[in-house]
Amino acid sequence: MFHRLAIISDTHGLLRPEALAALQGCERIIHAGDIGKPEVLQLLNELAPVTAVRGNNDKGEWTEELPVSAVVTVEQACLYVIHDLAELPIDPVAAGIRVVISGHSHKPSIQERDGVLYLNPGSAGPRRFKLPVTVAELVIRDTAIEARIVELAV
């Protein structure tokens, strides 16, 4: 049995049709902040259950319900979600976290350090500088975890 999670961040109010297409068929969506407006979460929720955290640009009444960080458990894998990796308040190794998901930088990356996978899906919203427009996919199969960046053709 395997689980496919879609990871998105930094939409800044723009949920592109290409992003929605890339997220089709996942069992859960994780939004790592800078959502931009509540309609983004409503549209994502039509595809799959959403776990979202508040980003530094998420302001207003609708964001008060959003946590600054979240923990998601899939099988035996514990995932920690925060917008800005620089604000990580825990030691993921000591806390038993397998994957740390963050956004903020708009730079997609997958790195492993001390047995912890650090995943930044990049930005799926308005293009910034010359950075690609991306989302990510996380596949969890028993104890194996695979991540990949999906560049959107926009």
Report which secondary-structure segment, H or E, holds 3: strand 2-8
pLDDT in tens, 133-154: 999 999 999 889 999 999 999 8
Answering whether pTM is above 0.95, one says yes
pLDDT at 154 (0 to 100):
81
> Could you give the strand order of the β-sheet that contains 144-151, starting from the edge strand earlier in sequence?
50-52, 28-31, 2-8, 134-141, 144-151
CB 117 within 8 A of CB 110: yes
Contact 15, 147 (CB under 8 A): no
Amino acid at 55: G
* Residue keyed to tokens 């996919």: 137
Show the domains of the chain with their CATH numbers: 2-151 (3.60.21.10)
Residue 15 is predicted with a pLDDT of: 95
The pLDDT tens digits of the residues spanning 66-109 come to: 999 999 999 889 999 999 999 999 999 999 999 999 999 999 99
pLDDT given for residue 44 in this prediction:
97
Q: How confident is the model at residue 130 (pLDDT cuts 50, 70, 90)?
A: confident
**What is the pLDDT, as a whole number, of residue 64?**
94
For 5, what's the count of Cα atoms within 13 Å in the CB-facing half-sphere? Answer: 29
